[in-house]
Chain A
Amino acid sequence: MYQLKAVDKKFPGVHALKAVDFQIKRGEIVGLVGENGAGKSTLMKVIYGAYQPDGGTVTIDGKAVRFQNPRQAMEKGIGMVFQEQSLIPNLTVMENIFLGYERQFVRLGVINWKAMSEAAKKQLAKVKLDIDPATVTSALSFAQRQLVELAKVLTLEERVDGDLVILLDEPTSVLAEDEVKMLFTIVRDLTKRASFIFVSHRMDEVMELSDRIYVMKDGAVVDVVARGAATAEQIQQKMVGRSVDQEYYREQRQKPYDAAKVLLEMDSVSLPGRIKDISLKLHAGEVLCLVGTEGAGREAILRTTYGMRTPVSGKLKIKGNAVSGFNPQAAVAAGVGYVPRERKIEGIVAGMNVYENMTLSQMGRYSRAGVLNVAAEKALARDWIGKLSIKAHSEYADCGNLSGGNQQKVVLSKWRSGGSDIMLLDHPTRGLDIGAKEDVYEMIRDMSDDGVGVILVADTLEEAIGLSHTIIVLKDGAIQQRFECRPGAKPTLYDLLHYMI
């Protein structure tokens, strides 16, 4: 039905797509996987009309088409559900659904809200979302917004004659497990109405949902795998061109932690509505993993430790000293480092260079009477660029231009160089490709060897199990269960899930 033949796309210095063949049949769900930079997003953009291919042909039902912009693609039935949610938060659900297509409800310049509301209800029913179309979008949960977004794209059904192709770009990245399940059920159900192209970093999800999987590497499709024809490991191997074995999480480097040295102790800490009665201990050299669904209290524990939230009751001791004033300055001074989930917002300052970012949390050590010792800062940055093999042309490189993995290395070296020995890592590998993930795992093991205590919120359960000495499972803000994770005697996914839901 929809087909790309030998499509090529070049950017200055990059051959982004190399003779890509791609096709999708009516009612099919096609997965698209590849490392960051493999060309997935370029391919998506060609499909939904944001980029024009330099070579090759695009055909729909055998007829050649060429889209100048996404709107033209939409008129041919190709819709995109964006990863960065594209709904305008201060508008209502129905206004978002019909944004740019209000004309059908306008009489003499006045919008017939009732008609729009009726029409919006019909769209929302397609995705089984039972909400008032007049709800302001910002009041919805992420999962609901994702469905509204899908409903918005599905309005194409009424506007377009032919078949629909809908692209889903990382639709699950902000969803909890049960929400993902729900989304998948809906998507499967919608195959009556449309074909789907599904892009995700999560291999298990792609394998679960897709009829066929296109594997991309270096701008080319290296393989097309039918459902059940390959294991996750085999596909991953195709993506990276090497095997991802048991050593992925560096389990052989996991050594027992120093049980005599307690770095951090929480004693029945509570924060109403977020966490209740949390008691835990973090030891030198330990990787303590917090596991739970979104909103189970993982982030609240990290933020309390870092002084960004003040608990209502309970005690927090850092290295034996009770914390009284909760603020980040005091936490940093006590040796706590925080690598937040939103790297772009709270991790690095884009526009500042490598050495400026590295010393941001420790400028006092690189200045006298407020005057900076820039030479020492640069030496520090050069040292860590070498140590962690950060790919930056020099210490002057703008951190905003580095890749995600290298940004993460800068963030980690910012804290490590400042001597932080309690590290709070919130999804440190989110959005990184496999090679960069392995670098991060390696660094976590290095930190353990240096006697650093790590509290980790992992991106996947496998990651949590693979990396940690101890796992604490949280549900609704309370600790459900604690697991020891000695290499060779690690809990299984099922063990954890049992306590999570």
Chain B
Amino acid sequence: MATPFLPLIQGGAPLREDRVRQLMTRENAIRWAPLLVLIGLIILFTAINPAFLSQRNFARIAIAASPALMVAIGVTFIIVMGSIDLSMEGTVGLTAVLFCFVFLATGGTLAAGAWVAIPVILLVGALIGLVNGLVHVKLRIPSFMASLAIGFVGTGAAVLITGGDIVKIDDDTFRALLTWRIAGFPLMVYVVAAMTVLAWFIQSHTTLGRNFYAVGGGEELAHASGLNVRRVRIMGFVLAGVFYAVAGILQVAKLGQAESVSGANFMFISITSVVVGGVALWGGIGGIWNTVVGVLIVNVINNGMVVIGLPNYLQDGMLGLLVIVAVVLSTDRRSISFVK
């Protein structure tokens, strides 16, 4: 029954085949694989429970993904450099707690001058990143170890400040980040969108962003081209710290409270998202958009399991398995013969 179509296909063949071949190159397949995985997941969950595909549910995913995306973007800069940053849990916890303290100390409402807490906390985030970077670069400690240690110091500091208590914020103007909705999505989603565009701008239109790729793609070469590689590394950690601080603030906005463990789970979620999105752990490959897709994949899996009614006790295990499947489908592993 396919015969009627034959002349048509043959007639258009040369041109169309070329076009198809152009679109079907390996590079293209790799570039779009994470997005296809995301779309596939959405179709899968929708097929199981059509309620998944609703604006309300998407808003829920967006809210859950917002702080995680900020953390993941922060660590993306570091991973593009070929390093790793594991300080996110401590940094988010400490900045969230400090934010509440400064917020309450400066009036307890945005209207009364507590807005000061926002720039102060961003600065704190930058400072933590700076310490991280200095320890890594100046003391020549691998970023993996330096940042892991600094993260623990952050968590410890948060426990010390709070004494293990929960700090609450009930300012309506601040909570508007969660409660005020435009087109169904709360304000914080738009803040995150704006920060993502900013991150993209840094990545592709600033010398700093270019330098991250140069260091990740060939550190020796960057050095031999006269780049100050040590400075680039430190700046990377500072930038990541700022994004972690944004996540800390959003975490407070989302929950209305902060405690020393406010940053829990961000390490797994953020690094997983970055890898699932197709950013190479050895540096130089991938970027912000990969991370955005990666965060969405992980959050869609998380949300989808709830929506299709998977029992609670199975969800963590399923998440782990699905993440492995997502990595298999969405990353380019052909060129690597051995994985360490």
On chain B, the residues within 8 Å of A331 by CB distance are 226
On chain B, the residues within 8 Å of A347 by CB distance are 221
Q: Is the CB of B226 within 8 A of A352?
A: no
B214 interface residue per 8 A CB criterion: yes
On chain B, the residues within 8 Å of A360 by CB distance are 210, 214, 221-222, 225, 227
Interface residues of B in 130-188 (CB under 8 A from A): none
Cα A328 to Cα B221 in complex, Å, equals 11
B208 interface residue per 8 A CB criterion: yes
On chain B, the residues within 8 Å of A308 by CB distance are 223-224
Cα A367 to Cα B206 in complex, Å, equals 7
Cα A414 to Cα B211 in complex, Å, equals 16
Q: Is the CB of B285 within 8 A of A361?
A: no
Q: Is the CB of B207 within 8 A of A338?
A: no
Q: Mark B258-300, 1 if CB is under 8 A from A, else 0.
A: 0000000000000000000000000011000000000000000
Interface residues of B in 177-228 (CB under 8 A from A): 204-208, 210-211, 213-214, 217-218, 220-228
Q: Mark A58-102, 1 if CB is under 8 A from B, else 0.
A: 000000000000000000000000000000000000000000000
On chain B, the residues within 8 Å of A414 by CB distance are 225
**For residue B213, which residue of chain A has the nearest CB?**
A352
Number of interface residues of B (CB under 8 A): 22
Cα A135 to Cα B31 in complex, Å, equals 46
Q: Is the CB of A346 within 8 A of B224?
A: yes
Other-chain residue from B205, B208, B221 in contact with A349 (beta carbon distance below 8 A): B221
Instruction: From known contacts A329-B228, A352-B213, infer whether A363 and B207 are also in contact, taking CB-CB under 8 Å.
Output: yes
**For residue B285, which residue of chain A has the nearest CB?**
A351
A1 interface residue per 8 A CB criterion: no
Instruction: From known contacts A367-B207, A372-B210, infer whether A332 and B225 are also in contact, taking CB-CB under 8 Å.
Output: yes
Q: Is the CB of A349 within 8 A of B284?
A: yes
Other-chain residue from B210, B225, B284 in contact with A351 (beta carbon distance below 8 A): B284
A348 interface residue per 8 A CB criterion: yes
Q: Is the CB of A371 within 8 A of B227?
A: no
Q: Is the CB of B213 within 8 A of A370?
A: no
Give min CB distance, B134 to chain A, whole Å: 19
Q: Mark B23-46, 1 if CB is under 8 A from A, else 0.
A: 000000000000000000000000
A356 interface residue per 8 A CB criterion: yes
**For residue A345, which residue of chain B has the nearest CB?**
B220
Give min CB distance, B99 to chain A, whole Å: 27
On chain A, the residues within 8 Å of B206 by CB distance are 367, 370-372
On chain A, the residues within 8 Å of B284 by CB distance are 349, 351-352
Q: Is the CB of A349 within 8 A of B207?
A: no
Q: Is the CB of A349 within 8 A of B224?
A: no
**For residue B211, which residue of chain A has the nearest CB?**
A363
Q: Is the CB of A329 within 8 A of B226?
A: yes
Cα A364 to Cα B211 in complex, Å, equals 12
On chain A, the residues within 8 Å of B210 by CB distance are 356, 360, 363, 372
On chain B, the residues within 8 Å of A328 by CB distance are 223-226
Interface residues of A in 292-326 (CB under 8 A from B): 306, 308
**For residue B280, which residue of chain A has the nearest CB?**
A351
Cα A361 to Cα B208 in complex, Å, equals 13
Cα A333 to Cα B213 in complex, Å, equals 22
On chain B, the residues within 8 Å of A370 by CB distance are 206-208
On chain B, the residues within 8 Å of A351 by CB distance are 213, 217, 284-285
Interface residues of A in 395-442 (CB under 8 A from B): 414
A374 interface residue per 8 A CB criterion: yes
Give min CB distance, B213 to chain A, whole Å: 6
Other-chain residue from A340, A371, A372, A374 in contact with B224 (beta carbon distance below 8 A): A340
Cα A356 to Cα B210 in complex, Å, equals 8
A119 interface residue per 8 A CB criterion: no
Give min CB distance, B35 to chain A, whole Å: 20
Give min CB distance, B232 to chain A, whole Å: 11
**For residue A307, which residue of chain B has the nearest CB?**
B226
**For residue A303, which residue of chain B has the nearest CB?**
B224
Give min CB distance, B320 to chain A, whole Å: 30
Instruction: From known contacts A372-B206, A374-B205, infer whether A349 and B228 are also in contact, taking CB-CB under 8 Å.
Output: no
Give min CB distance, B249 to chain A, whole Å: 25
A24 interface residue per 8 A CB criterion: no
Cα A329 to Cα B223 in complex, Å, equals 9
Q: Is the CB of A352 within 8 A of B214?
A: yes
Cα A230 to Cα B175 in complex, Å, equals 87
On chain B, the residues within 8 Å of A356 by CB distance are 210, 213-214
Instruction: From known contacts A367-B206, A370-B208, A371-B206, infer whether A349 and B226 are also in contact, taking CB-CB under 8 Å.
Output: no
On chain B, the residues within 8 Å of A372 by CB distance are 205-207, 210
**For residue A306, which residue of chain B has the nearest CB?**
B224
**For residue B228, which residue of chain A has the nearest CB?**
A329
Give min CB distance, B233 to chain A, whole Å: 15
A244 interface residue per 8 A CB criterion: no
A20 interface residue per 8 A CB criterion: no
Give min CB distance, A337 to chain B, whole Å: 9
Q: Is the CB of B218 within 8 A of A346?
A: yes
On chain A, the residues within 8 Å of B285 by CB distance are 351
On chain B, the residues within 8 Å of A392 by CB distance are none
Q: Is the CB of B218 within 8 A of A345?
A: yes
Cα A370 to Cα B203 in complex, Å, equals 11
Cα A350 to Cα B222 in complex, Å, equals 12
Give min CB distance, A353 to chain B, whole Å: 10
On chain A, the residues within 8 Å of B228 by CB distance are 329
Q: Is the CB of A349 within 8 A of B218?
A: yes
On chain A, the residues within 8 Å of B222 by CB distance are 349, 360
**For residue B217, which residue of chain A has the nearest CB?**
A349
Give min CB distance, B303 to chain A, whole Å: 34
On chain B, the residues within 8 Å of A338 by CB distance are 224
Give min CB distance, A418 to chain B, whole Å: 9
Instruction: From known contacts A351-B213, A352-B213, A360-B227, infer whether A346 and B207 are also in contact, taking CB-CB under 8 Å.
Output: no
**For residue A360, which residue of chain B has the nearest CB?**
B225
Interface residues of A in 241-286 (CB under 8 A from B): none
Instruction: From known contacts A338-B224, A360-B225, A361-B225, infer whether A350 and B217 are also in contact, taking CB-CB under 8 Å.
Output: yes
Which 9 pairs across A and B sit closest by C-beta, in order of nearness? A332-B226, A349-B217, A361-B225, A349-B218, A363-B207, A346-B224, A328-B226, A351-B217, A360-B225
Q: A345-B221, A370-B206 are in contact. List 9 more A-B contacts (CB 8 A).
A: A328-B224, A331-B226, A347-B221, A349-B218, A350-B218, A356-B213, A360-B222, A367-B207, A372-B206
- CB pairs A–B below 8 angstroms (13 shown): A328-B223, A328-B224, A333-B226, A345-B221, A349-B222, A351-B217, A351-B285, A360-B221, A361-B226, A363-B210, A363-B211, A371-B205, A372-B205
